[in-house]
Amino acid sequence: MPRQIQAGPVLLDLFHRDAQIEEDWLRLHPREFEVLWYLAERPRQRHSRLELLRDVWRLRHDPETNRVAVTIARVRRKLARFKLDSLIATDLKRGAYFLDCDAHAVAAG
């Protein structure tokens, strides 16, 4: 598992469990970081709300809450400070979220 993933201008750091844009940290809540890391590991792949609940929240049932949408909105709001809120896109037809940029692991050092 890589320590860092570069997703467009956003550097996700597993050690800090946060994301950085240039010198500024986003100060992500742990679940916000997990969602962003999950999407960055699979750039441009669509992920349904239920898939995110299963893989990020580790829930095997649908709690019928809007926790995924709220978490995505919080991450977008933090990215919006840098005019990057469009990095997380929503596919309304499929009800899915995806990272709309290329991402890759960053070599150590």
pLDDT in tens, the chain (109 residues): 789 999 999 999 999 999 999 999 999 999 999 999 999 999 999 999 999 999 999 999 888 889 999 999 999 999 999 999 999 999 888 889 999 998 898 876 5
The answer to whether 41 touches 5, Cβ cutoff 8 Å, is yes
Res 19: pLDDT: 98
How is the chain split into domains, by residue range? 4-105
Nearest to 49 by CA among 36, 32, 62: 62
pTM of the entire predicted model: 0.92
DSSP state of 48: E
42 vs 99: CA distance, rounded Å: 8
- Statement: 4-105 belongs to CATH 1.10.10.10: yes
